[in-house]
């Protein structure tokens, strides 16, 4: 295994940037404090609003603005005591409340597993099976060349905490500033309690409530939309930490060839409130007739874990039956077209489309269907593998820090998870 100590540069928060080592978790924040205006820290009493809309934007830093539609009203707020006392005059405005991402983060574990080393592993557990040929075919179909595993004594929460810390660093926040943590994963620490509770404790986010979203690769877009709704409807709420995390490698059998896909990782975003719209809309799709195709089928109430089910491998992830290609090849374009119709934009207006990072071939087919050039999408599976619930935020962050996403860009995020669930969101970058 090779060492991976590449220093990655995280997304911009309030006009600044954060660099970090993806394995050590060390962060270096480069910010312009004068440019930052954390609107979400205004006291609750200041957020008396009328006619607010459930719209969000990404990476916002703008100041308060708006029109006084309901008559004059004096607004006077102060920044939250968690950051010190400071008077902040908001003016005479009827303030609309929107959601925005003010920091992103990700974490990639340190154990590299190349396709060659994976083929060598399979030859040991299935001698004479020609697994080098099989792995070669998988690589050609998916684009995956390697993936990264977490240490065997880690759990999904360990990945999530590290990604969460990076997002908090990027946003310039303390864990105690967070009001809510939403964690998306289909490789939880436990059946119950929620993994987000573990993350809350390990982060020291003692003021935060939590809940999990369990719709696999659709989890992050679903959680972003949920966070936006929470922020615009709960006027007391200031910061929501959204995390996607994945450790399916630990739940896969050693002789399961679908282990080829699984890479461990986590991505995160901090969302707060703003006065300018950017979140345009969300779209969802599902078909439960596929719920038996791919999953972990023992350990829940359908079949509680027993010695027999453990020995038979039913407490591990299993690929039981293929999904027809149209699940994604038709489902993803359907999601994007719904986003365009509901969000009031044309397909050609899209500057970046990010999809579940499972097969590069599927992304190519979908982009052709949408009439969009490949330059308008981004993929990470070649070097990081299929990181499931984490792949969409990891790909988004990677595109931002590589300069492939710019201010004003229209970005769509589409996730597709086993079950199956599909979800998408449309965002206008500031």
pLDDT digits (tens, 9 = 90+) for 9-20: 333 333 344 444
270 plus 373 within the same structural domain: no
The Cα–Cα gap between 280 and 55 comes to 6
Residue-wise pLDDT for 342-394, tens only, equals 999 999 999 999 999 999 999 999 999 999 999 999 999 999 999 999 999 99
Residue-wise pLDDT for 77-117, tens only, equals 333 444 343 333 333 334 688 888 888 899 999 999 999 99
203 plus 253 within the same structural domain: yes
Looking at 279, 301, 333, which one is the last position of a domain? 279
Q: What is the CATH number of the domain that holds 301?
A: 3.40.47.10
Q: Span 323-341, mean pLDDT? A: 94
Is 62 within a domain?
Answer: no
Residue-wise pLDDT for 75-87, tens only, equals 233 334 443 433 3
User: Which structural domain, as residue segments, surrounds residue 272?
Assistant: 7-31+103-279
Residue 99 has what pLDDT?
A: 86
Is 340 within a domain?
Answer: yes
Q: What are phi and psi of 172, to 5 degrees?
A: 70, 35
Q: What element of type H or E holds 353?
A: strand 352-355
Is 157 within a domain?
Answer: yes
Stretch among 173-182, 300-309, 407-416 having the lowest mean pLDDT: 407-416
Looking at 279, 309, 327, which one is the last position of a domain? 279
**Model-wide pTM > 0.75:** yes
Q: Span 295-316, mean pLDDT? A: 94
Is 294 within a domain?
Answer: yes
Name the average pLDDT for the chain.
81
Q: Span 259-280, mean pLDDT? A: 89
376 plus 336 within the same structural domain: yes
Looking at 220, 246, 279, which one is the last position of a domain? 279
253 plus 148 within the same structural domain: yes
Q: How confident is the model at residue 22 (pLDDT cuts 50, 70, 90)?
A: very low
- Rounded to 5, what percent of the chain is helix, strand, coil? 35, 25, 40
Residue-wise pLDDT for 108-141, tens only, equals 999 999 999 999 999 998 998 888 899 999 999 9
Residue 74 has what pLDDT?
A: 33
Q: What angle do CA 156, 162, 165 make, to 5 degrees?
A: 135
Sequence-ordered list of residues with C-beta below 8 angstroms from that of 309, at least 6 positions apart, any chain: 298, 299, 303, 315
263 plus 313 within the same structural domain: no
Stretch among 26-30, 96-100, 384-388, 412-416 having the lowest mean pLDDT: 26-30
**Cis before 420? omega within 30:** yes
Is 66 within a domain?
Answer: no
Domain count, the chain: 2
**Residue written as tokens 């099989």?**
134
Q: Which residues pair with 8 in a beta bridge?
A: 20
303 plus 256 within the same structural domain: no
The Cα–Cα gap between 422 and 287 comes to 9
124 plus 266 within the same structural domain: yes
253 plus 286 within the same structural domain: no
Q: How confident is the model at residue 321 (pLDDT cuts 50, 70, 90)?
A: confident
Question: Which of 346, 290, 273 is CA-nearest to residue 102?
Answer: 273
Is 301 within a domain?
Answer: yes
265 plus 292 within the same structural domain: no
Residue 31, pLDDT > 50, answer: no
17 plus 109 within the same structural domain: yes
Residue 128 has what pLDDT?
A: 86
Is 49 within a domain?
Answer: no
The Cα–Cα gap between 36 and 22 comes to 25
Is residue 376 packed enough to be buried (19+ CB in 10 Å), middle (13-18) or exposed (0-12)? buried
Q: Between these two residues, 2 and 313, which has the higher pLDDT value? A: 313
Is 64 within a domain?
Answer: no
Residue 8, pLDDT > 80, answer: no
229 plus 300 within the same structural domain: no
Tokens of 124: 């040991």
304 plus 194 within the same structural domain: no
Residue 277 has what pLDDT?
A: 67
């Amino acid at each position: 295994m090779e060492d991976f100590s590449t220093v990655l540069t995280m997304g911009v928060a309030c006009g600044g940037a954060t660099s970090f080592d993806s394995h050590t978790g060390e962060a270096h924040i480069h910010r312009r404090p004068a440019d930052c205006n954390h609107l979400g820290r205004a006291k609750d009493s200041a957020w008396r609003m009328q006619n607010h809309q459930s719209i969000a934007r990404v990476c916002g830093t703008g100041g308060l603005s708006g029109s006084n539609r309901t008559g004059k009203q004096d607004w006077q707020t102060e920044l939250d005591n968690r950051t010190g006392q400071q008077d902040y005059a908001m003016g005479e405005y009827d303030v609309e409340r929107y959601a925005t991402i003010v920091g992103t983060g990700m974490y990639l574990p340190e154990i590299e597993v190349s396709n060659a080393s994976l083929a060598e592993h399979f030859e040991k557990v299935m001698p004479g099976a020609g697994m080098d040929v099989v792995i070669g075919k998988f690589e050609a179909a998916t684009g995956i060349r390697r993936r990264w595993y977490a240490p065997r004594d880690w759990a999904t929460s360990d990945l999530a905490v590290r990604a969460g810390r990076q997002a908090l660093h990027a946003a310039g926040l303390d864990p105690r500033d967070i009001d809510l943590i939403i964690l998306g994963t289909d490789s939880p620490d436990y059946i119950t309690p929620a993994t987000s509770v573990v993350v809350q404790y390990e982060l020291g986010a003692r003021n935060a409530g939590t809940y999990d979203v369990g719709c696999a690769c659709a989890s992050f877009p679903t959680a972003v939309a949920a966070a936006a709704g929470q922020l615009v409807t709960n006027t007391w709420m200031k910061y929501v930490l959204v995390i996607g995390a994945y450790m399916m490698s630990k739940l896969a059998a050693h002789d399961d060839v679908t282990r080829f896909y699984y890479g461990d990782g986590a991505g995160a975003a901090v969302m707060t409130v703003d006065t300018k719209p950017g979140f345009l809309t969300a779209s969802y799709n599902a078909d439960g007739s596929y719920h038996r195709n791919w999953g972990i089928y023992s350990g829940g109430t359908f079949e509680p874990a027993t010695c027999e089910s453990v020995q038979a491998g039913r407490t591990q992830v299993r690929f039981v039956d293929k999904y027809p290609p149209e699940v994604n090849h038709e489902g993803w374009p359907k999601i994007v077209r719904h986003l365009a119709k509901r969000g009031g934009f044309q397909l050609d207006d899209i500057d970046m489309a990010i999809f579940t990072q499972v097969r590069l071939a599927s992304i190519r087919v979908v982009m052709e269907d949408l009439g969009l050039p490949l330059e308008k999408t981004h993929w990470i599976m070649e070097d990081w593998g299929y990181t499931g619930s984490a792949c969409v935020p990891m790909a988004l962050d990677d595109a931002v820090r590589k300069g492939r996403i710019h201010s004003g860009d229209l970005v769509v995020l589409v996730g597709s998870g086993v079950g199956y669930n599909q979800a998408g969101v449309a965002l206008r970058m500031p």
